[in-house]
Structure 1
């Protein structure tokens, strides 16, 4: 059974990053990734979507086993994409999957400080 955590509305016209940390038993990792890819496929074509990456922990001791980082041109674009009924149904399939025990921690962030390499 999945433990859902609510989504925060971004509500801004500036770039945002959605970071979602997942706790997933290692034995369910492949099933989780399959469900996540289905879910992400609805976001890829949404206006304002820049890119998404899913990171997998390299240690079996990790409490947070997967981290999704998705970049959006604007928070309002992310908010609109979340209204997509197909995406909502895909999320529901994850929540109702009896073979998944997932805790998700989604949160929207904006850049507070940024460093880039100095030109050489």
Structure 2
């Protein structure tokens, strides 16, 4: 099975960005980190307040099947703990765009040495 990189863009009203970041760190991240197949991830915050996406999450998974299972299980675990992820995101006006990729070309700059 091929490793997968998922890139998830989050947009929302700018005034809700700090609340969303806290929700992601406190609730979503721990649920995802417990899932089998997660290799690593980095959650990025925008530099420009006019950016259409306030946050971008880039996560690497062992394969697409484990990623799909992890997403389902994470949402279910949060629900079991009394957190409706979709309701919180609706309240904060969060829109999500997720795309999954396999590696095509690896490259490295001179600063990495």
Instruction: Give TM-score, length-normalised by structure 1.
Output: 0.75
Alpha-carbon distance, 1:32 to partner: 0.6
Paired residue total: 105
Unaligned 5+ segments in structure 2 are none
Post-superposition, which runs of at least 4 consecutive aligned residues in structure 1 deviate over 2 A? Answer: 92-95
Q: Displacement of 1:114 after TM fit? A: 1.4
- The 10-residue stretch of structure 1 (68-77 or 92-101) with the greater mean CA deviation from structure 2: 92-101
Deviations 1:9-52 (Å, cap 9, x if unpaired)? Answer: xxxx2100111001122210111112222112111121111112
| CA deviations over 1:64-113 (Å, ceiling 9, x no partner) | 111011111222211221231215x38x7232136401110011111122
* Mapping of residues 1-120 of structure 1, within 5 Å: 13-37=1-25, 38-84=27-73, 85-87=76-78, 89=79, 93-97=84-88, 99-117=91-109
Which structure: greater helix fraction? 2
The two structures, once aligned, show a CA RMSD in angstroms of 2.2
What TM-score do you get using the length of structure 2 for normalisation?
Answer: 0.79
Q: 1:82 and 1:65 mapped to 2: Cα distance?
A: 21
Gaps of 5+ in 1: 1-12
